[in-house]
Amino acid sequence: QVYLVEFGGGSVLTGGSLRLSCKASGNTFVSYSIAWFRQAPGKEREGVAVFFTGDGRTTYADSVRGRFAMSQDNAPNTVYLQMNGLTSADSGMYYCAVALGRVGGPWYRPVYYNYWGQGTQVTVSS
């Protein structure tokens, strides 16, 4: 069992920045990948960024590449999402998620993730 809690959401103006955190507890040593997702009202949950524990590789959705950066700390077991140059399109509920096994398709499909945090709200206004 893995427990995830997100922090750092809030309201910012267009062009602003936020840093989200996800604190992991429980059995945190068996993760295949750790990802950030977001979901806007009336839209599907979409992958934002992912970290693959096996090779340390990080990748990003096209919509955030160059503006967002994912990083991690080993102790406490925390992952971060630095978000810069925010626009209204970035608004939504942000979640961190853990996949225990090899992803059977594209990393950004929510169905492949076994554990989820409760989410933290990000609102970008002009």
* pLDDT tens column, 61-102: 999 999 999 999 887 799 999 999 999 999 999 999 999 987
How large a percentage of the chain has pLDDT more than 90?
83
| DSSP SS3 for 112 | helix
Residues 3-14 as b or e (16 or more Cβ within 10 Å = b): ebebebbeebee
pLDDT class for 30, splitting at 50, 70, 90?
confident
Tell which residue, 61, 55, 81, has the closest CA to residue 69.
81
Determine how many CB atoms are found less than 10 A away from the CB of residue 97.
23
Per-residue pLDDT averaged across 16-40, rounded? 93
